[in-house]
A = this chain, B = another copy of it.
């Protein structure tokens, strides 16, 4: 117990949190190891339950530790992240006749599954509407599904298809599309000419946290993937929400890219 002497201007909870954080950084608690219980913290730092509980809450919010009800508080371990490479969509699936997600999963020795959450017509939300170049709320075909790896939720994926493409096609059918929506769109006579992928980090909404089974303190990565045809018409907007503690994203470049 260090750094908690006296006349310190930091609040007690902050001092305790800093102390524990330093101990974790020093390796006193290795990943997976239990922190002192709240009752022990009360003893150690001469405080009360509310404060001890708050301290743990701070570390949880930082993503440094997690709690298990009835068991204890543990240092979070950082499992290896699944690498997602961008602008990957078409290159990858062209080889396989399978959805990109499945191809990448199988490459990495994991079993992909999916739960269809919604298929049907609906109003396109604001951000995706901008990418589709339609007004917010325009009716489109929506496919929403949760994609899992070895049974663990990995990506919450929502795709928006304009009616001029999806109307009356299998895209409106609630069944899974074996070859994936991209291949289906090509079969319908459209052609992916160019696209853009846009990312940002956020904290999950309640619903996202629940569906992706995210522990507190874990951010998500939102990705919008927009595909256009030769006439620069948006064919689809895919909005994927990745569990932040299980994914990273990579992009490669070489001299050809620079000097074009």
Contact = CB atoms under 8 A, between A and B. Distances in A.
Contacts of A39: none
A194 B254 contact: yes
Interface residues on A, range: 35 or more
Nearest to A243: B201
A195 B94 CA distance: 25
Contacts of A162: none
Interface in A15-46: 18, 21
A252 interface: yes
A90 B254 CA distance: 10
Tallying the copies of this chain within the complex gives 2
Most B-side CB within 10 Å, residue of A21, A50, A200, A244: A200
Given A18-B206, A87-B253, A94-B258, A221 B201 contact: yes
A90 B21 CA distance: 39
A216 interface: yes
A257 interface: yes
A255 interface: yes
Nearest to A259: B91
Nearest to A228: B254
Interface string A197-239: 1111111111000000000111111000000000000000000
B81 A200 contact: yes
A61 interface: yes
A62 interface: yes
Contacts of A81: 200
A91 B258 contact: yes
Contact of A50 (B50, B86, B201, B204): B50
A90 B90 CA distance: 26
A112 interface: no
19 contacts: A21-B206, A62-B206, A87-B251, A90-B258, A193-B254, A194-B253, A195-B252, A195-B253, A196-B250, A197-B251, A198-B250, A199-B199, A199-B249, A199-B250, A201-B220, A202-B219, A202-B244, A203-B219, A219-B244
